[in-house]
Amino acid sequence: MTSSTLTGPAAPAAPVRHRPVGRALQGWLYATPTAAFVGVLFVLPLLLVMLMSASRWPLLSGYQGWNLPANYSRAVSNRFFVDSVVFTVKYTVLATVLLIALGLGLALLVQESTRWKGLLRTAFLVPSALGLASASLLFYVLYSPFAGPFAPIMERMGATFLGTPDAALWSTLFLIVWRYAGFYMLLMLVGLQAVPADVYEAARIDGAGRWQTFRHITLPLLRPTLALCTVLCVTGSLLAFEQFYILTKGGPDNSTISVVQLIYTVAFQGQNDLGVAAALSVLVLGVLVLVNVLQIRAFSRPEER
Amino acid sequence: MTAQLSRAAASASPSRSTGRAPATSVAGLVLRTPYWVFTGGLAVIFLYPLVWTAVASVSPHPGTSQVDGWGFGNYRALADYQAGIWQYLANSAFVSLLTVALTLVVSTLGGYAFARFSFPGRDALFLVTLAILMVPYATLLIPLYVLLTQVGLQNSLVGLALVLTMFQLPFSTFMMRISFEAVPRELDEAAMVDGCSTFTALRRVLLPAVKPGLITVGLFAFLAAWNDFMAPLILINDSDRMTLPLAVSNLRGQVQGVVDYGATEAGVVVLALPCIVLFLLLQRHYVRGFMSGALKG
Amino acid sequence: MALTGFRSLLAAAAVAAMLAVAACGGGGGASGGGDATAAGPNGVDDGTTLTLWTRAPLEKQAKLLVEAYNATHQNTVELTVTPNDDYVAKVGAAAGAGGLPDLFAADIVYVPNWVQQGLFQDISDSIDGLPFKDAINAGHLAAGTYEGRAHVLPFVLDLSMLFWNKDLFREAGLDPEKPPATLEEYAAAAKAIQALGKPDTYGTATGLNCGGCLVFTWFPSIWAAGEQVMTPDGTQSLLASPTARQVYDTWRDLWQSGAVLPSSRDEAGPTWTAGFTEGKVGLMFYPATLLSSTQGFEVGVAGIPGPNGGSSTFVGGDGIGISKDSEKAPQAWNFLSWLMSEEAQVEVLGKNLDVVSRSDLADNKYAVSDPRLVTINEVAAAGETPVAINFQQAFNATNSPWLTLVRDAVLGTGADLDKNNDEITAVLSQQ
């Protein structure tokens, strides 16, 4: 269902019935505001980013002439480039596995309709009403060795939430899980509801156990939902920025520099080189398009057969 | 609101219970104790950070505006900051509501076009719209600044709303497209056989049918615009046009080497409160938004 | 077919993008509108509205100055404050599009770079017209001077000083009136206070994950020994010298002895002064602008000592100038010349217990009432402001090689000192 719509082109075009040319014209008319927004506020700036990536473009003095491959080679040879790619991939894998497993677990926990489970659902969902920046600020205080509720414990144990590379990574992951677990739980709930009830009925009559039912019926039928969740989670995690910008600033010892954090640093905190930052952004865009195409293919092929 | 959510969930679930009968007997209740503890514990983990922040914002802490006893000192500091909290709230509300309005109009028309019409460039436009999700946010803001300056919309709340609307389009267009696709085609075709134009069919027949989608799109646009930090930071110059997240961020770092945790807590509460209230009020539709879900993050 | 429409849209967009670039590109020139001195030595006060940007940590001083100016002039200055960490992004976006305010302040260590990139107008002639020119803080003036032309005046000075908590000194049996004269004595005092074993109280504190804090508080120890941290042209790092090693070793020993506030290890800057301000730290190198925020205990102030004596300070803070985009230079100069006047320096900054930017006003009536201010003003004259084009990237940035060097030398093995120092040089010498 949803994943095939996500790809757009897969959806069959509406059969044209009345005055085809007129319909096409009307279609464009309705799509004009979208096209205007996307064209002027997205495509145009994106082209400018591509232009930046091909030019010498210091943040503070603007366009200084072409230098095509240089920005890309400088982007790739930045001393944090490899580290940031490795870290971002690691973070993405961890975040995706955690969020999808937890989302599914929570969904199974609350899928029946009782008052208590309704309350649980709301509790899991409330954090997702916060903006990511607000949530990061909230955890900034919560993790603080001065004002946080765990300050005395931290002091006794001589450890802090953001002090070591591993602690910083897991503390950030906890924030992300807290903020997004409810979101993925809902996606899973919706997917679970789309599974026809008589399939379960049949499995029960056949004497399938709870685990067998889950493994052989629920999971395969959840495939489209899992695909959507994975695409969303991977895209979001590969672009992770705010949580690191507010909580860790890439530290300690440069251990939590995500790729977008690196872009921000190159642009605004030191090098102030928009050309290199734009080159990195174009690389990220290319990778994301590729990853998404691959993911959608991997998940949708069996369905089409 | 919870009941409504439950009803939505109930439509498919009761008949396919996996064999777990509702615990009615006393023995059942006792057996279920670990379950209560476990789920209750989970709920506490999810609610604790919010509750703690709300409590901490009114409790005393050295180095904040609430040093002695409980009270609203941190909120007073926030209220009196620069142009005053009401100005920032008004700015944030204006930007958020304008973003909601623009997003609704653009994505309704766009979703209608994508769902019901076939025109050259349709799939390309849809894909490009979705690609907005794949570009690092911070990099787009500099060219946007240049662009808005050219047309005189930089340092303007309207320009800010335009940019925020653009960032909402992938989700909202996607959402409206599948909302329209879920409506049986016969409905608008019947209207057009009766002589309605496509626009009248949209307004009279289709809009009521996609109302849940509209509410979801509006809610998401509001949440995103209300909470955004980077776009107003880069695009707004005058301090009396700043939005609330910026003011909170300024307030917490006023003294070198000291973070005003009290102001941060109060700021998070003021930022989060409208979102949580709105979320609880519209929970049913919010939930529906995830059925098609596509959200940055 | 389907793609043609999209392609023509792309082509149209590309043309428009080129136009946008042509209209705004090449904004590097430092020539705004109007000559600052055209209308006399004090500029023009004709009811113009001026815009001024600064960062949040200086908001208090900026606000006092702007309010005092607006109350006594026809011109109106509108102040915009930006969170500290996001200031460069904001200025950068505006600079590229020609949208800088009339006046803006910058962390003095960024000033050489920003001046070289042409963000500020040349105000040499106006500064030359000031009768007290030689009394203006030389470090700040030098940072804003490029190819012999001055572009920046001191806005707010911030000095790193040795602050000690006299109450804790007394408890530890140390002489509360006698500051440590060498880094060695400093360490001994910190350990003595730590030895009190008071809960929640530590000998000293610093920001071991904060490049800016470490530059601000540790460079002076090297200067106090009569040495330098970089070559004069700011392209080569000298931070692996024997004196520098002595500084790292002292801190390493302090850290290992447990006399340093534990959260110092991860401190990235936002709360690096909090421990001392709350009275929980015995002595520390601390920003002088925060003198008025230490309340509830007695505080002594002295220059920062070197390994074997001497004293120095980092003359930090913000410089201010007229932006390249301002078309109101004569009016903006009116604010700057007032900023340098006795009225602003003494009655606004001095009254607020801040350091004045003019040495001839060092012993003003407010300073005289507090001997600590006199000390600060005296040390200010002997302090230094390092100048390097790539200073931010080499030292202040969160991923700077300087931070790597310090963390290795103090928390790690220290084996990579030379390699890390070379890395700083590599960044400093970038074109």
The answer to whether the CB of B230 falls within 8 A of the CB of B15 is no
pLDDT value at position A12?
43
**Of A207-221, B5-19, B252-266, the least confident:** B5-19
Phi/psi at C51 (5° precision): -110, 145
C interface test, pick of A41, A57, A60, A253 with most C CB neighbours within 10 Å? A60
Cα atoms in the 13 Å half-sphere on the side-chain side of A96:
21
Distance of CA A83 to the CA centre of its chain: 20
User: Shortest CB distance from B121 goes to which of C6, C24, C59?
Assistant: C6
Q: Mean pLDDT, to the nearest integer, of C408-412?
A: 93
Residue with the bigger pLDDT between A113 and B163: it is: B163
The 3-state secondary structure of chain C, one letter per residue: CHHHHHHHHHHHHHHHHHHHHHHHCCCCCCCCCCCCCCCCCCCCCCCCEEEEEEEHHHHHHHHHHHHHHHHHCCCEEEEEEECHHHHHHHHHHHHHCCCCCCEEEEECCCHHHHHHCCCECCCHHHHHCCCCHHHECHHHHHHCEECCEECCEEEEEEEEEEEEEHHHHHHCCCCCCCCCCCHHHHHHHHHHHHCCCCCCCECECCCCCCHHHHHHHHHHHHHHCCCCCECCCCCCECCCCHHHHHHHHHHHHHHHCCCECHHHHCCCCCCCCHHHHCCCECEEEEEHHHHHHCCCCCEEEECEEECCEEEECEEEEEEEEEECCCCCHHHHHHHHHHHCCHHHHHHHHHCCCCCCCEHHHCCCHHHHCCHHHHHHHHHHHHCECCCCCCHHHHHHCCCCHHHHHHHHHHCCCCCCHHHHHHHHHHHHCCC
Determine the Cα–Cα distance for residues C283 and C302; give it in Å rounded to an integer: 11
Domain contains B24: yes
Chain A residues with CB-CB distance to C393 below 8 A: 270-271
Q: Which residue of A has its CA nearest to C96?
A: A62
Q: For residue B88, give every residue at least 6 positions away whose Cβ sits within 8 Å of its Cβ, in sequence order, or none.
A: B242, B243, B244, B246, B247
Helix, strand, coil share of chain A (percent; to 5)? 75, 0, 25
CA distance B77 to chain C (A): 14
User: Shortest CB distance from B254 goes to which of C6, C56, C287?
Assistant: C56
pLDDT of A11 strictly over 80:
no
**Of A43-47, A151-155, C300-304, C364-368, the least confident:** A151-155
Residues of C with CB under 8 A from a CB of A: 9-10, 12-14, 16-18, 20-21, 24-28, 86, 88-89, 91-92, 95-96, 113-114, 117-119, 209, 262-263, 265-266, 268, 271, 274, 390, 392-393, 396-400, 404, 407
- The band of C18, judged by pLDDT with boundaries at 50, 70 and 90, is very low
Q: b vs e for C310-319, b when ≥16 Cβ sit within 10 Å of the residue's Cβ?
A: bbbbbbbbbb
The answer to whether the CB of C303 falls within 8 A of the CB of C225 is no
Residue with the bigger pLDDT between C96 and C302: it is: C302
CB contact under 8 A, B254 and C5: no
Q: Which residue of C has its CA nearest to A255?
A: C399
SS3 A130: coil
**Of B77-86, C13-22, C72-81, C381-390, the least confident:** C13-22
**What CATH number is given to the structural domain containing B205?**
1.10.3720.10
CB contact under 8 A, A253 and C404: yes
Question: What is the β-pairing status of strands C103-107 and C145-146?
Answer: unpaired
- Put simply, the chain C residues between 299 and 318 with a CB less than 8 A from any chain B CB are none
CB contact under 8 A, A44 and C95: no
CB contact under 8 A, C25 and A62: yes
- The band of C37, judged by pLDDT with boundaries at 50, 70 and 90, is low
Dump pLDDT digits (tens) for B198-239.
888 888 888 988 888 898 899 889 999 999 988 998 898 888
Q: B81 with B52, same domain?
A: no
Instruction: Supply the range of the domain harboring residue B38.
Output: 2-58
CB contact under 8 A, A130 and B17: no
Q: B87 with B171, same domain?
A: yes
pLDDT of C75 strictly over 60:
yes
Determine if residue B82 is left, alpha or beta; phi over 0 gives left, psi from -120 to 50 gives alpha, anything else beta.
Answer: left
**Of A51-60, A291-300, C314-323, the least confident:** A291-300
pLDDT value at position B41?
93
Q: Mean pLDDT, to the nearest integer, of B28-39?
A: 83
Determine the Cα–Cα distance for residues C142 and C152; give it in Å rounded to an integer: 9
pLDDT of B183 strictly over 90:
no
Q: Give residue B22's identity as a one-letter amino acid code.
A: P
A254 touches chain C (CB under 8 A): yes
C272 touches chain B (CB under 8 A): yes
User: Shortest CB distance from C57 goes to which of B237, B249, B254?
Assistant: B254
Q: B83 with B177, same domain?
A: yes
Distance of CA C29 to the CA centre of its chain: 26
- The band of C50, judged by pLDDT with boundaries at 50, 70 and 90, is very high
User: Shortest CB distance from B145 goes to which of C93, C101, C158?
Assistant: C93
Domain contains B15: yes
Q: B154 with B278, same domain?
A: yes
Q: For residue A158, give every residue at least 6 positions away whose Cβ sits within 8 Å of its Cβ, in sequence order, or none.
A: C262
Residue with the bigger pLDDT between C269 and A45: it is: A45
Determine the Cα–Cα distance for residues A293 and A289; give it in Å rounded to an integer: 6
Q: Mean pLDDT, to the nearest integer, of A290-305?
A: 74
Determine if residue C47 is left, alpha or beta; phi over 0 gives left, psi from -120 to 50 gives alpha, anything else beta.
Answer: left
Q: Mean pLDDT, to the nearest integer, of C154-180?
A: 94
Domains and CATH numbers, chain A: 2-53 (no CATH), 78-304 (1.10.3720.10)
CA distance C300 to chain A (A): 25
pLDDT value at position B135?
87
pLDDT value at position C149?
95
The answer to whether the CB of B252 falls within 8 A of the CB of B134 is no
B34 touches chain C (CB under 8 A): no
- Helix ranges (H only) for A143-273 are 151-157, 165-193, 197-205, 210-213, 219-221, 223-238, 242-247, 259-268
CA distance A249 to chain C (A): 7
Determine the Cα–Cα distance for residues C169 and C150; give it in Å rounded to an integer: 45
pLDDT value at position B24?
58
How many other C-beta atoms lie within 10 A of the C-beta of residue A168?
25
- The band of C133, judged by pLDDT with boundaries at 50, 70 and 90, is very high
Dump pLDDT digits (tens) for C207-224.
999 999 999 999 999 999
Phi/psi at B152 (5° precision): 75, 20
Chain A residues with CB-CB distance to B128 below 8 A: 38, 42-43
Q: Mean pLDDT, to the nearest integer, of C57-62?
A: 88
CB contact under 8 A, C262 and A265: no
Q: Mean pLDDT, to the nearest integer, of C277-303?
A: 90
Residue with the bigger pLDDT between B31 and B148: it is: B148
Burial class for B33, CB neighbours closer than 10 Å (0-12, 13-18, 19+): exposed
Domain contains B72: no
Domain contains B71: no
CB contact under 8 A, C273 and B155: no
A82 touches chain B (CB under 8 A): no
- Put simply, the chain A residues between 23 and 62 with a CB less than 8 A from any chain C CB are 35, 39, 43-44, 47-48, 51, 58-62
Q: Mean pLDDT, to the nearest integer, of C4-20?
A: 40
pLDDT value at position C17?
42
Q: B248 with B109, same domain?
A: yes
- The band of B69, judged by pLDDT with boundaries at 50, 70 and 90, is confident
Q: b vs e for C119-155, b when ≥16 Cβ sit within 10 Å of the residue's Cβ?
A: bbbbbeebbebbeeeebbbbbbbbbbbbeebbbbbbb
pLDDT value at position C263?
86
Dump pLDDT digits (tens) for C338-385.
999 999 999 999 888 888 999 888 888 888 888 888 888 888 878 899
pLDDT value at position B145?
87
User: Shortest CB distance from B237 goes to which of C20, C80, C98?
Assistant: C80
| Structure-token match 């109350």, residue found | C71
Distances, alpha carbon A40 to alpha carbons A1, A32, B84, B143, B147, in Å: 32, 12, 35, 11, 9
pLDDT value at position B1?
35
C277 touches chain B (CB under 8 A): yes
Determine the Cα–Cα distance for residues C255 and A95; give it in Å rounded to an integer: 35
The answer to whether the CB of A233 falls within 8 A of the CB of A305 is no
pLDDT of B268 strictly over 80:
yes
How many other C-beta atoms lie within 10 A of the C-beta of residue C45?
17
pLDDT of A262 strictly over 60:
yes
C interface test, pick of A160, A257, A269, A274 with most C CB neighbours within 10 Å? A269
pLDDT of B297 strictly over 60:
no
Phi/psi at C266 (5° precision): -100, 0
The answer to whether the CB of A173 falls within 8 A of the CB of A259 is no
Q: B127 with B175, same domain?
A: yes
CB contact under 8 A, C13 and A47: yes
- The band of B3, judged by pLDDT with boundaries at 50, 70 and 90, is very low
- Put simply, the chain B residues between 91 and 120 with a CB less than 8 A from any chain A CB are 105-107, 109-110, 112-120
Same fold, C9-158+316-382 and C159-314+388-428: yes
Q: B97 with B221, same domain?
A: yes
Q: b vs e for A252-266, b when ≥16 Cβ sit within 10 Å of the residue's Cβ?
A: bbbbbbbbbbbbbbb
C25 touches chain B (CB under 8 A): no
CB contact under 8 A, C83 and B249: yes
Determine the Cα–Cα distance for residues A232 and B222; give it in Å rounded to an integer: 20
CATH topology of domain C9-158+316-382: D-Maltodextrin-Binding Protein; domain 2 (3.40.190)
Chain C residues with CB-CB distance to A87 below 8 A: none
| Greatest mean pLDDT among A1-5, A211-215, C179-183 | C179-183
Domain contains B23: yes
pLDDT value at position A301?
56
Dump pLDDT digits (tens) for A221-244.
888 889 888 988 999 999 998 889
Could you give the ipTM of this predicted complex? 0.82
pLDDT of C22 strictly over 70:
no
Question: Hey, CA dihedral for B213, B219, B223, B225, is it positive or negative?
Answer: positive
pLDDT value at position C347?
94
Task: DSSP for B176-203, please give it.
Answer: HHHHHHHS-HHHHHHHHHTT--HHHIII
Chain A residues with CB-CB distance to C407 below 8 A: 253
CB contact under 8 A, B119 and A147: no
Determine the Cα–Cα distance for residues C264 and C206; give it in Å rounded to an integer: 5
A213 touches chain C (CB under 8 A): no
CB contact under 8 A, A31 and B114: yes
Determine the Cα–Cα distance for residues C96 and B49; give it in Å rounded to an integer: 41
Number of domains in chain B: 2
User: Shortest CB distance from C88 goes to which of A44, A145, A269?
Assistant: A269
Nearest to C210 by CA among A250, A133, B255: A250
**Of A3-7, B188-192, C30-34, C382-386, the least confident:** A3-7
Dump pLDDT digits (tens) for A92-126.
999 999 999 999 999 999 887 788 888 898 899 89
Question: Between the CA atoms of B124, B130, B133 and B139, what dihedral angle is there, to the nearest 10 degrees?
Answer: 30
Q: Which residues are registered as beta bridge partners of C107?
A: C318
pLDDT value at position A302?
54
Q: B103 with B16, same domain?
A: no
Dump pLDDT digits (tens) for A123-139.
998 998 888 888 988 99
* A-C C-beta contacts closer than 8 Å: 113
How many other C-beta atoms lie within 10 A of the C-beta of residue C241?
16
Q: Mean pLDDT, to the nearest integer, of C25-37?
A: 44
CATH topology of domain C159-314+388-428: D-Maltodextrin-Binding Protein; domain 2 (3.40.190)
pLDDT value at position B286?
64
C interface test, pick of B256, B258, B260, B264 with most C CB neighbours within 10 Å? B256
CB contact under 8 A, B2 and A37: no
**Two tokens at C10?**
């792309």
B145 touches chain A (CB under 8 A): no
Q: Mean pLDDT, to the nearest integer, of C18-40?
A: 45
Domain contains B198: yes
pLDDT value at position C59?
87
Residue with the bigger pLDDT between B121 and B293: it is: B121
Q: Which chains touch B (3 or more CB pairs under 8 A)?
A: A, C
pLDDT of B240 strictly over 60:
yes
Q: Mean pLDDT, to the nearest integer, of A67-79?
A: 90
**Two tokens at C156?**
């707010």
Domain contains B290: yes
pLDDT of A158 strictly over 60:
yes
pLDDT of C157 strictly over 70:
yes
Distances, alpha carbon B27 to alpha carbons A116, B24, B37, in Å: 19, 8, 16
Chain C residues with CB-CB distance to B255 below 8 A: 57, 60, 273, 290, 293
Determine the Cα–Cα distance for residues B239 and C66; give it in Å rounded to an integer: 14
pLDDT value at position A20?
60
> What's the mean per-residue pLDDT of chain C?
87
Determine the Cα–Cα distance for residues B136 and B123; give it in Å rounded to an integer: 23
Q: B131 with B198, same domain?
A: yes
Q: For residue B27, give every residue at least 6 positions away whose Cβ sits within 8 Å of its Cβ, in sequence order, or none.
A: none
CA distance B138 to chain A (A): 7
> What's the mean per-residue pLDDT of chain B?
83
pLDDT value at position B97?
97
Domain ranges of chain C: 9-158+316-382, 159-314+388-428
pLDDT value at position A299?
78
